[in-house]
DNA sequence: CAAATAGTTTAACCATGGCTAACAATTATT
DNA sequence: AATAATTGTTAGCCATGGTTAAACTATTTG
């Protein structure tokens, strides 16, 4: 369907029963996933804080806790981490705010999230399902794939 | 804990700058992702063991370690867990084998993995990227989306 | 057959991200 | 203003999934 630059597909378009990828490539796949996992949660928190600020004007720990379905203690601990990472500023009993860097991360995450979500809907996935899938998928979609998803969505939007 | 967010929420499908999903739905999204993470690694190991058995006839800890880019100690520990979970059988210093249940999990994972991978390629994603993305995405794609991906791939396969 | 090498396991450690329970501070109610 | 309720923090616990280093087993080879 896509007449975007067709990548030069390797000679072997492998089917399921095919050879394993070479060790280094295989290893790199798993490494990429592990690295994604490290930043995933951080990004989720930052993205949510950004969303809360945008829509509610403030981001309180209690809201984060209920939206993430996690205890307040967990959120509190996480906020300390985000603070150490220079992503948020927080004064006790006050709303959180994002630093410059945190804001950038939130924007990037939200953009990525939206692209995936809209793509899934354009594909024909039901809204509720699309939201759940997007939440999980967003951290594992490369920029290359993201670009393709975006073009696809634009094209298939009536 | 109680939810003091009362603003009326507009109907679902709107664009990025829009209202947050209702708390329960939002919470469920994150919960689903957390649950996926719990089984993800297990499935990756089992899937890899299945692949090694299929292609190499045996699955040694050393192979798993190098393909996962992880230390042998980590693999050893993980194998113990898989054992406790009734997914593999292992005798010390011998090749691993999958139990009935392990085999089923491996098959399911591989099928899911293949659907995502083929879908990405059909979309126009380059092979190397598709492999990396598929590895990360496979555990976060619902059955509904999976079915849609499969149909898409069949249709767009030239 | 003994020794070297390769493979496997164990022990001890670390960071992460959950949890509960107890406490502290703020805000709301009466 | 006093008290109640909500919100936030801290401390201590647990499981997971990594790590290195050392010990043990199996296999290969001189």
In this predicted structure, the answer to whether residue B130 has a pLDDT above a threshold of 70 is: yes
Q: Are B52 and A20 in contact (CB under 8 A)?
A: yes
Cβ contacts of A5 on chain B, cutoff 8 Å: 124
Confidence label for A19 from pLDDT (cuts 50, 70 and 90): confident
Spatial CA neighbour of B40 closest among A47, A43, A136, A128: A136
Is the CB of B65 inside 8 Å of chain A's CB atoms?
A: no
**What's the pLDDT score for residue B18?**
66
For A70, how many CA atoms within 13 A lie in the half-sphere containing its CB? 23
CATH number of A24-98: 3.90.1310.10, 1.10.10.10, 1.25.40.80, 3.40.50.720?
1.10.10.10
Retrieve residue A21's tokens: 């990828």
Higher-pLDDT residue of A14 and A44 is A44
Topology of domain B103-157 in CATH is: Diphtheria Toxin Repressor; domain 2 (1.10.60)
- Whole-angstrom CA distances from A131 to A45, B32, B140 are 17, 11, 11
Residue A142: strand, helix, or coil: coil
**What's the pLDDT score for residue B74?**
98
Mean pLDDT of chain B: 89
Annotated domain spans of chain B = 24-98, 103-157
* Across A86-98, average pLDDT: 94
Bases of chain C within 7 A of a CB of the protein: 6-12, 16-22, 25-27
Specify the pTM: 0.88
Cβ contacts of B152 on chain A, cutoff 8 Å: 123
* Across A118-122, average pLDDT: 97
Q: Are strands A88-89 and B96-98 parallel, antiparallel or unpaired?
A: unpaired
Is the CB of A30 inside 8 Å of chain B's CB atoms?
A: yes
CA nearest to nucleotide D19 C1': residue:
B71
Is the CB of A154 inside 8 Å of chain B's CB atoms?
A: no
Q: How many contacts does A have with B, using Cβ atoms within 8 A?
A: 163
Confidence label for B19 from pLDDT (cuts 50, 70 and 90): confident
């Amino acid at each position: 369907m896509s007449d975007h630059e067709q990548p030069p597909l390797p000679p072997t378009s492998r089917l399921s029963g095919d050879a394993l990828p070479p060790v280094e490539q295989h290893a790199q796949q798993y490494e990429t996933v592990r690295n994604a996992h490290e930043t995933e949660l951080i990004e989720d928190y930052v993205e949510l804080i950004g969303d809360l600020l945008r829509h509610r004007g403030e981001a309180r720990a209690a809201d984060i806790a209920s939206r993430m379905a996690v205890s307040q203690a967990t959120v509190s601990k996480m906020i300390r981490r985000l603070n150490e990472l220079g992503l948020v500023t927080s004064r006790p009993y006050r709303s959180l705010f994002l630093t410059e860097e945190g804001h950038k991360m939130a924007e990037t995450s939200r953009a990525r999230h939206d692209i995936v979500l809209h793509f899934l809907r354009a594909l024909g996935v039901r809204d509720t399902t699309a939201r759940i899938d997007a939440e999980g998928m967003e951290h594992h979609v490369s920029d290359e794939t993201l670009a393709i998803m975006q073009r696809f969505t634009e094209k298939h939007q009536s």
